[in-house]
Amino acid sequence: MNLYWKGEHPVAKKRYDVIVIGAGAMGMAAGFHAADKGASTLLIDSFDPPHERGSHHGDTRIIRHAYAMHEAYVPLALRAQRLWEELERETGTELNRKIGLLRVCERGAPSLGMQEKFADAYGIPLERIDAAEMSYRWPGMTFRGDEEGCYEPQGGLLYSEACIRAYRSLALSRGAVLRTDEPVLAISSEAGPVAVTTAKGGYEADRLIVCAGVWASRLLAGLGLPIRPIRKPIAWFRADSPLYDAGTFPAFTYNVPTGEYFGIPGDAASGLKIGRHDGGRPADPDTVERRFGAYSEDEAELRAFLRDYMPGANGSLVRGSVCMYAMTADEHFVIDRHPADERVWLACGFSGHGFKFASAVGQMMADLAIRGETALDRSPFSLARFQRENRSRP
């Protein structure tokens, strides 16, 4: 049976237990978990996931577990790891490689201490190492000498588009319906069931999950969500030395004076993937310039980082790409109930570090939509924090 329906689904119906708007990383996982719980589930996407219009393309994403931003991320990451492994077993597809994750910061950075604290509390293997030791282990890296790192051997990479394909296949095998190339035009919940109007029809549901990524603020305009879509150039550079291959080189994040960078090793053919986490240009997701190299800084900023810290990987450009971040001001997620309708749940604002959590966030959203509760702490992701900020302003 062909599980990849486009256009009219021959068994589509108008009323569902759960509708999920946005079938990217979070939405596809939410659709699977809802269908797996026995709920009749409809997923709607403006495109045909996995695709290159949102935040999930580019082959790979980093996964790590000892988060420093807030303790709530740590059990969420550990749950996500278990769920990715379950997805691998059920689909027989390699989705995760534990090549290690090295996080580099200025010596004595408070976040390194927080990372150690949370790693110890949750039993996550973690080493704190100085610049000399990092240079010895990974001679492809160079340092000024005032850096420290935290190395997490169980971290590594996820094959992002393969993850979405796997959840898509399983969601449809559980009876979920997927409507692709179908933009949502309106949501109404004033009376009766929640109604969703698209460019191709109308649907109703008892519960709604909105995972609209960089389109969330527009779709939920009445909420005034402080989420900014940011254009992010990513590139793969040829590394002539095997020092940068995935078998010997870890995924990494570098917090240096010029910015925050991240990278994922590949092989001689694919090149070393590099991106910059901070910075970027605010952009409309419908009109954003998607050509890598359209702006001089697209390649120049990434090459400047390689020149200073990984000169052996500063080879020819293999390829470039542009993705989008849905940024909140504090870089924490939004996972909450719609303040005007308890049947509508939101998962958005993942700020460029959400993909690794998608398996767990999807399960969380299905639990919230179907049961109204989840075992995981979502307090840092509440909409109320923005309301508090607004009240505190003069």
Does residue 60 sit within a domain?
no
Return the active site residues: 57, 60-61, 273, 277, 323, 356
Retrieve residue 297's tokens: 């800084």
CB within 8 Å of 11: residues ≥ 6 apart: 177
241 and 127 in a common domain: yes
pLDDT in tens, 36-55: 999 999 999 999 999 999 99
Specify the CATH number for the domain of residue 221. 3.50.50.60
pLDDT in tens, 268-307: 889 999 999 999 999 999 999 999 999 999 999 999 999 9
pLDDT in tens, 314-344: 999 999 999 999 999 999 999 999 999 999 9
Does residue 361 sit within a domain?
yes
Q: How many structural domains does the chain have? A: 2
294 and 377 in a common domain: no
The larger pLDDT score, comparing residue 313 to residue 241, is at 313
User: Last residue of a domain, which of 298, 327, 356?
Assistant: 327
Does residue 8 sit within a domain?
no
Where in the sequence is the domain holding 139, given as residue range(s)? 98-156+228-327
Give the whole-angstrom CA distance, residue 36 versus residue 30. Answer: 10
pTM for the model stands at: 0.94
The pLDDT score that the predictor gives to residue 391 is: 36
373 and 286 in a common domain: no
198 and 138 in a common domain: no
Question: What is the maximum alpha-carbon separation in the chain?
Answer: 65
pLDDT > 70: percent of the chain: 95
Instruction: Summarize the chain as % helix, strand, coil (round to 5).
Output: 30, 30, 40
Does residue 245 sit within a domain?
yes
239 and 293 in a common domain: yes
Three-state secondary-structure class, residue 112? helix
pLDDT in tens, 370-394: 999 999 999 999 999 987 544 333 2
264 and 217 in a common domain: no
User: Last residue of a domain, which of 327, 355, 379?
Assistant: 327
Give the whole-angstrom CA distance, residue 85 versus residue 178. Answer: 24
The pLDDT score that the predictor gives to residue 388 is: 57
What average pLDDT does this structure show over 217-235? 93
Q: Hey, how many other C-beta atoms are within 10 angstroms of the C-beta on 278?
A: 12
| Nearest residue to 253 via CA among 358, 157, 136 | 157
What average pLDDT does this structure show over 176-195? 92
